[in-house]
Structures are given as C-alpha cells and as structure tokens.
Amino acid sequence: MTFRFSRFLLLAAVAASAALLAAIPALASSASTKTTAITATVTKANEFKFNLSKSTVPAGAVTIKFVNQGSLGHNFTLCSSNKGGTGNSCKGKSTPTITSATATLKVTLTAGKYEYMCSVPGHAAAGMKGILTVK
C-alpha cells in the first residue's frame, strides 16, 4: 500500500466519522419523545381534594400517577372538554377506582385547559375537581 493511498483512506475514515458524529444528535432528538410526569394525590386529611404536583404542563405526552392514600375509593378522570371547573361529570380518560393504591393514566394533550375530577358519584360536587393547564 502506498503512502498516498493510506492517506486517502485515513482522510475518508475521518470524514465518515465526523459525518456520523454530526448526525447522532439529530437522530436522538427525533427518536425520543419527552413525557411529562405529574402526581395527583389524595390523602386521609383531605379526602375530597386532589393535590397535583404540577397544575401546568407542556403539550404532548403526559403521565399522571394517581395516588389514593385516603380511606375511600376514588379515581382520577381527565375530561376531554373544559367546563371551567363547574361540572360534576364529564367524558374523558379515567383511572380505575382505587382505595389505598396507585394507578397511572397516560394521555397526549394539546394546548388548552382540561378539567379533572373524581367521577365517583358525589365526589366532584364535594370538591374533587380542578383545571390542568396545557401550554
């Protein structure tokens, strides 16, 4: 192998490596989707109130971890429309009704305001509701 040919191979390898290194961040950002995680907790001290870890989240994938530490059965329902926090029932996605347990709800949200509530009869009317803002 001549010196000229070896130098050509080395330059080609360096150019290919540089191109690969430049492409890695672009591939990583397009392949990964960021999921926002929030926790909605009910405690024995506040049996009819949700405590959210975040009340505003970015648009996109959201995972809601519902933790019921209370002594009554509750669920977490994310309504598909906003009634301004005045509704006591809605259509949307919901966790199962649980007592002293944890459940997870995964949703993809666009910008807007989403009402959430406990859909167990009478619980939203007792104050188990609120608004989640998505920006």
Average pLDDT, the chain: 85
């960021």: which residue's tokens? 34
Looking at the DSSP bridge assignments, the partners of residue 64 are 38, 105
**pLDDT value of residue 121:** 95
Q: What pLDDT score does 45 carry?
A: 93
Residue burial 71-105, b: 16+ Cβ < 10 Å; e: rest? eeebbbbbbeebeeeeebebebebbebbeeeebeb
Query: Would you say residue 30 has pLDDT above 50?
Result: no
23 versus 109: the higher-pLDDT residue is 109
Range 81-101 average pLDDT: 86
pTM: 0.74
